[in-house]
Amino acid sequence: MTKLSVNINKFATLRNSRGGNNPDVVKAAIDAQRFGADGVTVHPRPDERHIRYADVYAIKDIITTEFNIEGNSQEQKFVDLVLDVKPTQVTLVPDALGQITSNHGWDTIRHKDYLTQIIALFKKAGIRTSLFVDPVIAMVEGAAATGTDRIELYTESYAHEYAASPEKAIVPYQKAAIRAHELGLGLNAGHDLDLQNLQYFSRNIPHLDEVSIGHALISDALYLGYENAVQLYRRQLQ
The CATH number given to whatever domain includes residue 142 is 3.20.20.70
For residue 101, is pLDDT > 60? no
Per-residue pLDDT averaged across 132-136, rounded?
97
Contact 216, 195 (CB under 8 A): yes
Whole-number Å distance between alpha carbons of 175 and 194: 22
pLDDT for 99 equals 53
Contact 189, 211 (CB under 8 A): yes
For residue 100, is pLDDT > 90? no
Q: What angle do CA 213, 214, 220 make, to 5 degrees?
A: 100
Q: Is the dihedral of CA 132, 156, 13, 40 positive or negative?
A: negative
For residue 103, is pLDDT > 90? no
Active-site annotation, residues: 43, 70, 191
Lowest mean pLDDT among 92-101, 147-156, 194-203: 92-101
pLDDT for 95 equals 77
* 5-59 tens-digit pLDDT: 999 999 999 999 999 999 999 999 999 999 999 999 999 998 899 999 999 999 9
Longest dimension (CA), the chain: 49
Q: Domain total for the chain?
A: 1
Average pLDDT over all residues of the chain: 96
- The pLDDT-based confidence of 104 (bands split at 50, 70, 90) is confident
Q: What angle do CA 13, 86, 25 make, to 5 degrees?
A: 25
Q: Is the dihedral of CA 210, 8, 90, 192 positive or negative?
A: positive
pLDDT for 152 equals 98
Whole-number Å distance between alpha carbons of 12 and 22: 9
Q: How many CB atoms lie within 10 A of CB 96?
A: 10
Domain of 100?
3-236
